[in-house]
Amino acid sequence: MIKINNKKLAKFLGFKAIRLLILLIVIAAISFIMIQLSPIDPVRAYLGQRIVSQEQLAIVGEYWGTNLSLGERVMGWLTTLASGSMGFSLIFRVPVTEVIVQKFTASLTLMVVSWVISAIVGFGLGVIAGAKEGTWIDKVIKTYCYILQSTPTFWIGLVLLMVFSVYLGWFPIGLSVPIGQLSDTVTFWQWLYRLILPAITLSIVGIASLTMYTRDKLINVKKSDYFLFSKARGESFWGIIKNHGIRNILLPAISIQFLSFNELFGGTILVEQVCAYPGIGQATVAAGLRSDVPLLLGIVIVSTIFVFAGNFIADLVYQYVDPRIRGEDDE
């Protein structure tokens, strides 16, 4: 049973909360300044090819606050953020929080499904490769991982679309809602059908790093004294792998998987663009191309919290689950 020192836990949570607050302030300020220094005129980007007069341009610019100085815009946005609001999306014409909740919910489902698949498959392949070190099975798995690690996410998505959507016709090319149908009327099975290909694409990318890490850890365990002692006692090879190998590499593997949240989020943006999946990735690209500053900054903040949450869970696993690091010296 895990013993938790409440005082130590409170100190740990307080330290993490302060770090998150500082990180959000710094990321928000830097992101805002970088967006404002962009050579793209947000008004022109929003209007596109529409022909408008200079007076209309001035009205839109005043409404968006482009006539204010950089310092005034930074302070104004930070003040709005401190009040609990992320502003108003310029392209969706609704509050930023509504857009992020709707889009991020769809993306979160995609990320969770692909994260679980990559964790199970990646860990399993890593155990097999580590147990069969030096054999043809190990070489095949290593080659597969090396190829995946050097292949861009969007390229894998394009290949899968060409094979399974264009040639085989198993999935639609555009994986958003069916043509002529509103998103509110999409059934669960239609949604699940369109989730399969993006989830497979994203999970394939996340398998490689976990597989190689698990393989290396298991090989180190196989060289340990307790592994050799169990082997000398006559235990079966796979019994030793199960009782001594997996038990010792499971927690580090879980931590590594949580630390991959940043790669998961970045891969989601690319996969959603390639597969036309209606999530946070498409909203990010649309906000960037049309200079929707409030939405883009809101997505930056949410992505920062998401990645920080992965790192936080990984630290929590090590601090309060692994007894070697927890150091039960609180007697």
For residue 329, pLDDT beyond 50: no
For residue 293, pLDDT beyond 70: yes
Rounded CA separation 285/291 (Å): 10
Rg (CA), the chain: 24
What b-and-e string marks burial along 144-175, b requiring 16 or more CB atoms within 10 Å of the CB? bbeebeeeebbebbeebbeebbeeeeebbeeb
Mean of the per-residue pLDDT values of the chain: 75
- List pLDDT tens digits, range 95-112: 888 888 888 887 888 888
**pLDDT-wise least confident of 72-86, 118-132, 140-154, 287-301:** 72-86
- List pLDDT tens digits, range 1-46: 445 566 777 777 788 888 888 888 788 778 777 776 766 666 666 6
Under 8 Å CB-to-CB from 287, ≥6 apart: which residues?
89, 91, 293, 295, 296, 299
Mean pLDDT of the region 204-225: 82
Please say whether the dihedral angle defined by the alpha carbons of residues 54, 59, 64 and 66, taken in this order, is positive or negative.
positive
What are residue 88's phi and psi, to 5 degrees? Answer: -120, 125
Predicted pLDDT at 331: 45
Q: Which amino acid is at 233?
A: R
Predicted pLDDT at 218: 84
Alpha helix stretches (DSSP H) within 83-187: 96-131, 136-149, 153-160
For residue 217, pLDDT beyond 60: yes
Predicted pLDDT at 130: 83
Q: What is the CATH number of domain 1-331?
A: 1.10.3720.10
Give how far the C-alpha of residue 253 lies from the chain's centroid of Cα atoms, to the nearest Å: 17
